[in-house]
Every structure is written in C-alpha cells, then in structure tokens.
Amino acid sequence: MDREELLKRITADPNIMVGKPIVRGTRITVEAILDELAGGISEDEILEDFPELTPEDIRAAVVYAQELVAEQRVH
C-alpha cells in the first residue's frame, strides 16, 4: 500500500474528537496511536488494545505524522 492510500485512512472532522485526525471509521486518534508507539507499546499490543485497527492503520498514523513533521520549518 503506497503513502497516498495510507493517508486516505486518516480523516478529520470538527464534529468527531474535536477535529483531531482519526483513523477513518473509528474514534481512534492518530495522537493515541503515536502515544502508544512512543511509550514502547508494540504494534501487536496496539492491535490487541484496539481490535478495530489494522497494521495499515498504524502505518497510516506514522505516515501522517511524518508528513506533518516534513512540513515544519524552524525560523
């Protein structure tokens, strides 16, 4: 699955989770997934905790975060 396809899994709607980016069709935020990964939680454990997610959803969250960081510039 390429980056564009992965990014289609991430949506934001001001009426869902206060507009935070989420995995499409869920109320699971990109932030929650990244927080789990940053805390050392394995992908398998995340999938256990959030059975509605797929490995591609986790990759999509990481790709989304990478895209945001790539756009940032320090002045």
Structure tokens at 30: 């990109």
Query: How many CB atoms neighbour CB 26 within 10 A?
Result: 16
Q: Alpha-carbon distance 48 to 28, whole Å? A: 14
Q: What pTM was computed for the model? A: 0.91
Q: Indicate whether 66 pLDDT > 90.
A: yes
Count of helix runs (H) and strand runs (E) in the chain: 4, 2
* Predicted local confidence at residue 47, as pLDDT: 98
Domains and CATH numbers, the chain: 3-71 (1.10.10.10)
pLDDT, one tens digit per residue, over 46-62 is 999 999 999 999 999 99
